[in-house]
Chains A and B, each alone.
Chain A
Amino acid sequence: MWQIFHKLGSPKWFFGISTRFMPWLLVGGVLLLLAGAIWGLAFAPKDYLQGNSYRIIFIHVPAAFLAQSIYIMMASAAIVTLVWRMKLADMFVKAVAPVGLVLTFLALFTGAVWGKPTWGTWWIWDARLTSMLILLFLYGGVIALDRAITDDKSAARAVAVLVLVGVVNIPIIKYSVEWWNTLHQPATFKLTEKPSMPAEMWVPLLLSVLGLYLVFGWLACIRMQTEILSREQRTRWVKELVMKGKS
């Protein structure tokens, strides 16, 4: 079992396998995103209270969901970096942190745009909004720390520790709306109950979330490949690959 795990950590193996997966991830993701967006924006019924303005949910929720999900993936990779010193895990953290940053920003931005007409304010310092802002700063901190340390190995460890410390924020974001009084409403989707929204609304939402996951997978692969090529440029397999590309 450990052998497979260590093979997973080989940049060369990952480069080969990801090249095969990537077109599927991109095509599937874009199709799902398009389907979710068109269905959600044009065909889903409007909400009884908020009318059409609730439709921003089809961007807001997938972005917020992925933003937290990516952080959990980064934290798992950080454990692998610290325990097994696997280069690929560190490359993953580096590759996806900017993606997480952008999605967190998107969630905050669409939330503000949504908050103005429904709540009556762009921003309020309630627990959900504030913990999400902390997530944005964590992503920024991870990127900055990584850039600040030039040595790859020490950067990897420092970044991994920061990512792990920040993971405490994730349950806080998730449960903030239950633990404290917040302006943000509690979750519409719970694991154990059926969603408090009809199927013609949650199905397009689910499609958008899945589509964004696949597009994220593609982004992660292509960014990791770039990182692999730049770090492994002195190895024989990369040189051969580049020669093959040139001829």
Chain B
Amino acid sequence: MHPIRKKRLTIILFLLAGLTVAVALTTYALRQNINLFYDPSQISAGEAPSDVRIRAGGMVKEGSVVRDPDSLKVEFLVTDYSASVPVEYVGILPDLFAEGQGIVAMGRLNNEGRFVADQVLAKHDENYMPPEVSDALEKASKNQSKAAADSIKPAT
């Protein structure tokens, strides 16, 4: 390669490397702001500010959804399977909202550690499958958990 071209290429590579480091440091420093939501562990560890509008995200805990019979009020627990945060919301939930589904809620954390949401968005995962497959999977896991429950019972 011609020496001038070699020099140009070196300069470009150096510039790109420098730029990458600069952007990496900036995004690292801003990671709190880039994160869309706090997960339940962060909230229960006190990392999330209270009385400021924030987002909380995680899975809707199975069996935790309580609907008020007279209004649109819903209460449920959001969990990341190591910590849970109680959430209350008044309004219409997205179609994909269900127990065991991921959600992102926007709202405020009150002084009692309850999250008062004014918007709930559904988050879906990267898995796609036909309905028959998911039914089969569900059946299989139910059988398995039943078998597991049966095997635990004699011990207790």
Contact = CB atoms under 8 A, between A and B. Distances in A.
A, B: real partners: yes
Q: Which of A46, A117, A165, A181 has most chain B Cβ within 10 Å?
A: A181
A197 B123 contact: no
Given A45-B131, A180-B35, A119 B121 contact: yes
Contacts of A47: 128-131
B125 interface: yes
Given A117-B95, A183-B36, A172 B23 contact: yes
Given A180-B34, A181-B37, A196 B20 contact: no
B19 A197 contact: no
A188 B35 contact: no
Given A118-B96, A167-B16, A127 B129 contact: no
B126 A185 contact: yes
B133 A118 contact: no
Interface residues of A, number: 41
Nearest to B22: A168
A48 B19 contact: no
A207 B122 CA distance: 30
Interface size class of B (residues with CB under 8 A): 35 or more
B120 interface: yes
Contacts of A182: 36
Interface in B1-40: 1, 5, 8-9, 12, 15-16, 19-20, 23, 27, 31, 34-39
B128 A201 contact: yes
B94 A164 contact: no
A50 B5 CA distance: 53
Given A181-B39, A185-B123, A168 B19 contact: yes
A15 interface: no
A49 interface: yes
A81 B72 CA distance: 61
Interface in A87-128: 117-121, 124-127
B9 A83 contact: yes
Q: Is the interface of A mostly helix, strand, loop or mixed?
A: loop
Given A83-B12, A127-B34, A118 B124 contact: yes
Given A83-B12, A181-B35, A120 B120 contact: yes
Interface string A162-193: 00110110001000000111110111100000
Nearest to B92: A120
Nearest to A190: B126
A17 B120 CA distance: 55
Contacts of A119: 94, 96, 121-124
Interface in B57-78: 57
Nearest to B96: A118
A227 B141 CA distance: 60
A180 B31 contact: yes
Given A164-B16, A172-B23, A126 B36 contact: yes
A46 B104 CA distance: 25
Nearest to B19: A168
B127 interface: yes
Nearest to A128: B36
Contacts of A118: 94-96, 122, 124
Given A82-B8, A181-B39, A186-B126, A124 B133 contact: no
A165 B15 CA distance: 9
A120 B38 CA distance: 19
A50 B124 contact: yes
Given A186-B126, A196-B127, 6 more contacts: A49-B134, A120-B96, A120-B121, A124-B121, A179-B31, A198-B130
Interface of B: 1, 5, 8-9, 12, 15-16, 19-20, 23, 27, 31, 34-39, 57, 94-96, 104, 119-135
